Every structure is written in C-alpha cells, then in structure tokens.
Amino acid sequence: MNFFKSLNYNSEKIISEFFDNQNHYHRLTLSKSFFNALNKDQYFLKIYTYSCNGNFTCEGYIYFYLDDLDNKSIFIGAYVKPEFRGQGISSYLIANWINICVNEGYTKLVTNKSQKKPFLLYLLKTFGFEIDNVNQYGVCFDNIFIYRNFNDSSNKYILFKNPFHAKIFENSAIYKSDNYVILNSEHPQMSLDELKKISDSPALISDTSLQFLDQILLSRKYTLQDEHKAYQRILKAKNK
C-alpha cells in the first residue's frame, strides 16, 4: 500500500518496459490524480507504444480507486484507442491491476455496482470475477448474452434478455462511443432457463458465424472469487 502512497500526483511511474512478440516496444505506467467530485484519489494504469516518430503513444488505460480501510481496490473503467483494439490491451491492463493490487495487500478486488459496459464485465469474468449473488441470474432482466463473430473482430455482439433494455442501451453514451452490435433474438419471449439451454447453439441466433461466449448482468457488484483463474489469465495476458 505504501507503493501507491509514494506516487506523486499527476506524474507517471514506469512499471515495466518490454518488447512484444512482434518486436514492438511498450511501456506500462502508473499515475495518481485527485478526483475533486468524489474527494478521493484515482489511479491510472496506462500502456504506451514507441512510435516511429520517436514518441510514446498511449494505446489505452484503466482507472481505479483504493479503499485502505477495507483493503479494497475498485475497478472503474477502461479505454483503448480504436486503432489498438482487438490486441488484448484491456486484458493486459487488468492483469497488471490485479497483480499490483494483490502484491500491495489489497485482498478485495471489485468493480462498482453501476458498471454498465457489457464487454468490460465479460472481461472481468474471464479473470475470475463473479457477481456477489449468483441467484440474480434467475430473476434479473438486465441479463445480457455475449457473442463473438468469427468474421468481424472489430465489433462487440450482445443480446439482451429484455428488448426494452436493448432500446435503452442503444440510446446510451456507451453504445454510441464504442463498437457494440445489438442482436435480435429469434426467441424474444423465451424464459432465461430456455435461453440457457440453447445459448451455445445456432438456435438462438440464425447467424452461424456467431459463437456464444457468456452471460453477464449489468448494475451488479462483481468481485474476484477465483485467484487461480485470475493468475492464469495474468500469465496469458503477459504472453500476448
């Protein structure tokens, strides 16, 4: 925890520098700034690439808060520039966030309960994060199914259990600022249990280029439950 406190405001500390498997040079930094609206410090993990003009270009970042009383780190959000998306940058940043926080004694890693970015929640789930009360899956209308399109890696495909919530999301700033594609189910009136049974088959979506990945819930608190899974994902992210 002293590591975070030792950071100077609005200056970046180099965490690591490395070459990727394509021999591109990268730099990972950590910085701290004061967020006046909430009267607390916020932290940024940023990754840079060395460009041909001799400068470092920021590819993306994640940001989070710390709660020293509860030994808690709260993941808030992530951003990757469009030209760098699809390269595993968010995974790499999240892996380093987990690694740094755990090594500094933060035993509780969570995201805020108002998190509304479907693919960010999906990504956290791949690291071992899960909602506090899994029974919510059976009763919540904020259930979203995540898909991958084999023919289109630039977009994020999602299917809402509730078509009304799909309309709300379509008008949101998240949808307008990111590359989401909302799918239309051929079985919109199915119950959640019925959807689960066919969610990994072409019966739910007629487009056979789509593969079901997972289901997530919006507006629920996610917390890290499986440290072994997180560690394996850290290794995988670092090897990209």
If asked whether residues 145 and 192 sit together in one domain, one would say yes
| Global confidence as pTM | 0.84
Which tokens hold the place of 115? Answer: 């998190």
> Does 113 lie in the same domain as 32?
yes
pLDDT for position 123: 93
The Cα–Cα gap between 103 and 92 comes to 17
Q: Do 186 and 68 share a structural domain?
A: no
CB 48 within 8 A of CB 62: no
Q: How far apart are CA 117 and CA 208, in angstroms?
A: 25
Considering the domain architecture, whether residues 158 and 126 belong to the same structural domain is answered as no
Same domain, 59 and 175: no
Same-domain status, 156 and 91: no
Domain that residue 9 falls in: 2-131+220-238
Nearby residues of 69 by Cβ (< 8 Å), 6 or more positions away:
none
Q: Tens of pLDDT along 8-39?
A: 999 999 999 988 888 889 999 999 999 988 88
In the block, which residue shows the tokens 């200056």?
11
Asked whether residue 69 falls in the same domain as residue 174, the answer is no
- Give how many domains the chain has, as a whole number: 2
CA distance 236 to 234: 5
186-219 residue pLDDT tens: 554 444 455 555 444 434 555 567 788 888 888 8
CA dihedral 160, 164, 166, 171 (to 10 degrees): -160
What confidence score (pLDDT) does residue 136 get?
A: 63
Looking at the fold, whether 58 and 141 belong to one and the same domain comes out as: no
Q: Helix (H) and strand (E) counts for the chain?
A: 7, 12
Higher per-residue pLDDT: 138 or 157 = 157
Structure tokens at 18: 């490395």
Same-domain status, 56 and 71: yes
Reported as a single tens digit per residue, the pLDDT across 173-189 is 989 888 898 887 655 44
